[in-house]
Structure 1
């Protein structure tokens, strides 16, 4: 069972691993977490827990009760603790100082907070379905809204479609929406990714937090490939952060070089940033004949519970 829950870094399973094996790096032991607050939600109840070394936001989930959406180190609040957030920050470091970012999914607000700290004059818009996530992030996770760091409480697909009609453009789009088990089905399809692509600026950057061991990995991969040909990824034992550009190929070697130039600046946010760089790959390890997810065919969550 431990092998099934192996990967260190993608949201959710990390804290479960820590309960099983008793601590990791800056997290420390999580044997007896203290519940700081539970928020009653229309979707899934949100719980904030704390240990001597970390604080996490969780979604209530019977299948996986240790499903952390976001965690921060109490000693080093700026340090990113999940693999996907480190990967996203590494890729983001290649962008200009006035980068315009759309983040789909707030979690504990760690990514918007890191972006606001790293860049000189960023503009971040986060779309989050559940207002209780925002309450938890503001009350316990050091997240603060500002004129250039705003949160919109709305379904992400509806928001993105409206942005397309308004001809809005973003330099970077982060896809990081989870419902407690995996990505909501309507945010996994080709049609959704086409809507995302529509609001990316020319050569804009898409970063998407996915897993790499689920049964639908093949279909998920060919779906991204249908909209963003020649994407690459940061990849660990069970986590994958998709990296794609609007209108150009993702060159894994060039991306490695671009990130390596920023290792010193990334040090406060990413422990062992070079290890993150080394995880960049453009290897196609999926079945290219798999069926593309569409609005009519998107059994992602069905696969997930098998």
Structure 2
């Protein structure tokens, strides 16, 4: 990419995730410009473009992808449409960022990955926790040997059913055709990808899944276990019908442990022979700010982005292994 001109982005799917979390991060990054957005509802697309000061809007993704004024595309739709849009972006020869999870299953993710690899095109996946200062501090502790040899990681995530779950109102996150694992696909994907970033690739994974509540078609209770290639063991439980919310990760080492949350803005805690260190590290207002800044650095050849197609593909493989799909 040339350094003397803005990289003009087009966003496919300008829904809630793009309002604060991601859209403004692209707009506020020097050298980036959100030049067009697409949404099938014309009024909502026009309203989004007007409110965010974006030059163009489309109701057809093909037109946005083909637009010669669009240099790169961010796909922010539900996962079931990721493959169809991503393959078209690859065919158009444009860099792309895809919201997580990469696709509803590993095989679709692999098809996306291969399409961009064949054309040597940059492909980013929006696992933005790899770029957040809070988790970079956890990684620093681990890399510095603050808890000695790393032995095991354990994650417990639970929450109450939402009003939407109880009312039966449609939600793609609980539709087995789009998210086979339900909220696991949307939420656990963040943590599992983060654990790979912190501890290395996973070589074995399996799990048990069920639907305990019967409120929707997707799974609502999952337990899983895995082994990283370096021998670190992992386990997780995800239940979306509990009385209380819990989000606790514990990494155990030969000389201490680290405690943090994947989603809650809780302190990160280091416990070792030197005592206990507790740090509060706030997230930015636009949580994808550092992720998007890293996209720019990658496109400019400054440094490699931490969340690329290859790592996103690996996260899809791990999730499918836990869900028993492969």
Same fold at TM > 0.5: no
Q: Name the TM tier (shorter chain).
A: 0.3 to 0.5
**Larger relative contact order (CA 8 Å, sep ≥ 6):** 2
TM-score (norm: length of structure 2): 0.35
